Amino acid sequence: MRTTAVKAANRTLNGAGLEAKRKGLPPRNLNQTNMPVKYKIDKANRIIRTRCIGPVTIEEVVDHFRVLERDPDCPDRIDVLLDLSEETSIPEKANLQRVAEEIRRIRGRVQFGTCAIVAGTDALFGMLRMLEVFAEQYFCASFVFRTVNEAEVWLASKHPTTSAAGRAQT
């Protein structure tokens, strides 16, 4: 039986392979630690934790949505913790509009609830505030934070029966 970690790695790796194949390139090193966009689904609490690491292209982000759309472990409704604290690129306005379009496009497969976004730099923080505006109609609530801890606390406050880490509150 395959573990959840292996399934998560395969989801990420398959996405990288698809993008490389589409571009006619050999797939990059498929070690998950080298992937720019990674995610993990907490099915019990219906939270997806997505991390973008290093320089991330719009094509890699779009490919992430394509992989997520086909993921059998993705529930039909899910909250989001988007951790960009290790991202080194700054998206342009048009890229943020494209991200919002991708969110709209996959709504037939998955509806997003709340979205906590973590920005590692001032420039990224500002641009992600713009993403909040472009994508506000696709989330119940969204907010940009400076730390993962702040984002986790906020997500947990939106669902008082469980914390963002998935433990029952007393």
Residue 150 lies in a domain: yes
Task: Show the domain range for 132.
Answer: 4-158
Q: How many domains does the chain have?
A: 1
Given phi > 0 = left and psi -120 to 50 = alpha, else beta, which region is 42?
beta
> Two tokens at 154?
């906020």
- Percentage, residues of the chain above pLDDT 90: 71
Residue 145 lies in a domain: yes
> Has residue 72 got a pLDDT over 60?
yes
**138: which residues sit within 8 A by CB, 6+ positions away?**
100, 103, 104, 107, 112
Give the mean model confidence (pLDDT) for residues 72-77.
94
Which CATH number fits the domain that encloses residue 133?
A: 3.40.50.10600
Identity of the amino acid at 10: N
* pLDDT top residue among 109 and 18: 109
Confidence of residue 143 (pLDDT cuts 50, 70, 90): very high
Q: What angle do CA 106, 87, 67 make, to 5 degrees?
A: 25
Confidence of residue 27 (pLDDT cuts 50, 70, 90): very low
pLDDT, position 98: 97
Quickly count: other Cβ atoms within 10 Å of residue 88's Cβ: 14
Residue 168 lies in a domain: no
Interhelix angle 4-23/58-70, nearest 10 degrees: 130
Residue 139 lies in a domain: yes
pLDDT tens column, 107-142 = 999 999 999 999 999 999 999 999 999 999 999 999
Interhelix angle 122-135/93-105, nearest 10 degrees: 40
Q: Output the DSSP codes for 67-107.
A: HHHH-TT--SEEEEEEEEEEE-----HHHHHHHHHHHHHGG
Residue 163 lies in a domain: no
Residue 167 lies in a domain: no
pLDDT, position 35: 76
Residue 13 lies in a domain: yes
Residue 60 lies in a domain: yes
pLDDT, position 106: 96
